[in-house]
């Protein structure tokens, strides 16, 4: 991976799949110029959910969050590119869709903080931890993309 690029974990949450918004969410990341390097549809088990959201353990919404994220499949992905962690956070919008700007994924498709469609790692350190939680090294494909110099100046 080029030094100026980052990788980040993105989940299309159960509400995104149930509502048929997986394609719309993936399209937005793709159109921005980020590159997918890993992708799978999975049913998250309770153990993985608790590890993924460990920072929120003890909070009032934690049990509901674990219940929700394990209730139906998600699409787990790793996206790569310049500033990928921050770019995905901007594309997602604020945690509460009511506070997310129009044009963001949560601002365009969501109304409720507990049904906010998408997860993105919130820092490079979190991204590293979360990518490793969901994917083995073998599942991450470092593929060349011919359009690259038209997206990022070499």
Dihedral class, residue 117 (left if φ above 0, else alpha if ψ from -120 to 50, else beta): left
Among 119, 127, 134, 135, interactor with ligand IDP by CB under 6 A: 119
Residue 126 is a binding residue for ligand IDP (CB under 6 A) = no
Residue count at the site for Mg ion (CB under 5 A)? 1
Residue 45, token pair as written in the block: 């088990």
Among 27, 95, 99, 101, interactor with ligand IDP by CB under 6 A: 95
Question: If contact means CB under 5 to 8 A according to the sort of partner, which of ligand IDP, Mg ion, none does residue 113 touch?
Answer: ligand IDP
Distance CA 133, CA 118 (A): 17
Going across the sheet that includes 74-82, the strands are 35-42, 74-82, 5-12, 118-120
Catalytic (active site) residue 119: yes
Closest CA to 115 of 59, 48, 67, 55: 67
Among 5, 113, 124, 140, interactor with ligand IDP by CB under 6 A: 113
Which parts of this chain interact with Mg ion (CB under 5 A)?
122
Catalytic residues: 119
């Amino acid at each position: 991976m080029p030094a100026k690029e980052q990788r980040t974990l993105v989940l299309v949450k159960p509400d995104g799949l149930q509502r048929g918004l997986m394609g719309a969410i993936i399209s937005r990341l793709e159109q921005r110029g980020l590159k997918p390097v890993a992708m799978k549809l999975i049913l998250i088990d309770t153990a993985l959910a608790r590890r993924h959201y460990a920072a929120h353990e003890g909070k009032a919404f934690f049990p509901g969050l674990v219940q929700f994220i394990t209730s139906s499949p998600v699409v787990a992905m790793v996206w790569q590119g310049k500033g990928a962690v921050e770019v995905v956070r901007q594309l997602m919008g604020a945690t509460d869709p009511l506070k997310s700007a129009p044009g963001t994924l949560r601002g365009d498709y969501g109304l409720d903080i507990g049904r906010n469609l998408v997860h993105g790692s919130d820092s490079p350190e979190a991204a590293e931890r979360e990518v490793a939680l969901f994917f083995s090294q073998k599942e991450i494909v470092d593929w060349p993309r011919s359009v690259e110099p038209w997206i990022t100046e070499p």
